[in-house]
Amino acid sequence: MRTLPLGTEPTVVARPMLDVEKTLVGLDRAEIGDRLRDIGIPEKQIKMRTTQVWHWIYHQGVKSFDEMLNVSKDIRQKLADNFTIGRPEIIEALVSKDGTRKWLMKFPDGNEVETVFIPDEQRDRGTLCVSSQVGCTLTCKFCHTGTQRLVRNLTPAEIVMQFMVARDHLGEWPTPSEGRVLSSVVMMGMGEPLYNFDNVKKALKIIMDEQGISLSRRRITLSTSGVVPEMKRCGEEIGVNLAVSLHAVNNDVRNEIMPINKKYPLEELLAACRDYPGAKMSRKITFEYIMLKDINDRDEDARNLVKLLNKYGIYAKVNLIPFNPWPGSDYQRSDDDRVRKFSEYVFDAGISAPIRTPRGEDILAACGQLKSESEKQRKSEILRLEKEAMAATD
Ligand code: SAH
Ligand code: SF4
């Protein structure tokens, strides 16, 4: 593991390793029950044992069955012989001078993803930015992850594990009832979460489960580039806050910088936002708007942004994200003055439009800078996944 000589050194946490075939992490209760049945736990104990195991994994955060103290010794042994609850390998744990942390995790098949923890200014709470895929099939021109071909979807275990690893390093087990440092989650890491809907849903349900990690759905935000057909399901079946990567206010510019717009143009996207289940005054949709110099940052763009949001009657707030450069990127960040003027215009129109301060730039952890080295060797596999993702949303 490599660490940067910046700030505090991250804690190195000894852990038994993740074994994808044998892990109990990422399974729902019924599946854990089935696994316990498979190893001969008597039927009348299944419910109770499942509750115990769930509590130890997700409330206590233990990494081995030995620590499950209210489970009898012989059952603990049986569990340990057949299953694991270990963590993935941490290849790199970096700490930025602003306190942002980034972990590069490696799964047993060699694929890697990044997860970022962004503490707030006082450092008494913070947000975990979680990845949903290794790479991304979409190719937004401003995004580093988009230059990495999709290797594969992450499993529910791999998504939940990102949260658990962060908790390990922050020393936040057992789940505190209040005053949490890891206080919210954004699905804004690598990948398009709505192209991995089922696994993301399953993982978030585990993270929200009240007998375990118990993070409220109000503290979870899923960001999409605009996979229109899955947006309604996201509201209905997962019920988390929605963020939409808008980034342009007309189809010409959006087509150019976000190719997904050719499939789901602005009109369809905004109608889906208007209809997002649960969206209301107190639960607004966040529109992310990256500030790219001379591309989408003129006064006219700010005017059109306000017009569009009003036209569709969307309860909206806008997050202005100054472009974060990465090696080989084509764009430039808008000047600070320009970003401020843009923000003021939108604020003056009655829509909140704060400027997101870039965090963790020195460790390439800021929005759009994530990229792991996992590249797909087998092109046929990428094509299959791309086809599947597109077909699923036709
Ligand atoms: N695929 C989803 C989730 C990723 S969220 C989505 O696109 O919404 C990551 C956020 O960072 C998105 O809003 C994305 O558009 C933005 N982003 C990507 N590249 C960026 C960059 N270079 N600078 C700033 N923000 C960027
Ligand atoms: Fe994928 Fe989102 Fe990056 Fe676009 S911005 S390439 S959808 S991760």
Under the banding of pLDDT at 50, 70 and 90, the label for residue 389 is low
Ligand 2 pocket: which of 116, 131, 140, 329 to mutate (most atoms within 8 A of CB): 140
pLDDT mean over 194-205:
98
Query: What is the distance between the alpha carbons of residues 220 and 80, in angstroms, rounded to a whole number?
Result: 33
What sections of the chain are H helices per DSSP?
29-38, 46-54, 73-82, 156-170, 197-208, 228-233, 251-257, 266-274, 299-311, 336-348, 379-392
Query: What is the distance between the alpha carbons of residues 131 and 155, in angstroms, rounded to a whole number?
Result: 11
pLDDT of residue 130: 97
Ligand nearest to the CA of 192: 1
Query: What is the distance between the alpha carbons of residues 221 and 243, in angstroms, rounded to a whole number?
Result: 7
CA of 297 to the centre of ligand 2 (A): 20
Under the banding of pLDDT at 50, 70 and 90, the label for residue 3 is very low
pLDDT digits (tens, 9 = 90+) for 169-188: 999 999 998 899 999 999 99
> Between residues 23 and 149, which one has the greater pLDDT?
23
pTM: 0.91
pLDDT digits (tens, 9 = 90+) for 218-251: 999 999 999 999 999 999 999 999 999 999 999 9
Is residue 6 predicted with pLDDT exceeding 60? no
Active site residue 67: no
The closest residue, in CA terms, to atom 8 on ligand 2 is: 191
Under the banding of pLDDT at 50, 70 and 90, the label for residue 326 is confident
Query: What is the distance between the alpha carbons of residues 18 and 157, in angstroms, rounded to a whole number?
Result: 9
Is residue 58 predicted with pLDDT exceeding 90? yes
pLDDT mean over 362-374:
73
Ligand 1 pocket: which of 137, 142, 190, 247 to mutate (most atoms within 8 A of CB): 142
pLDDT mean over 57-72:
96
pLDDT of residue 384: 54
Ligand nearest to the CA of 258: 2
pLDDT mean over 298-303:
98
Active site residue 140: no
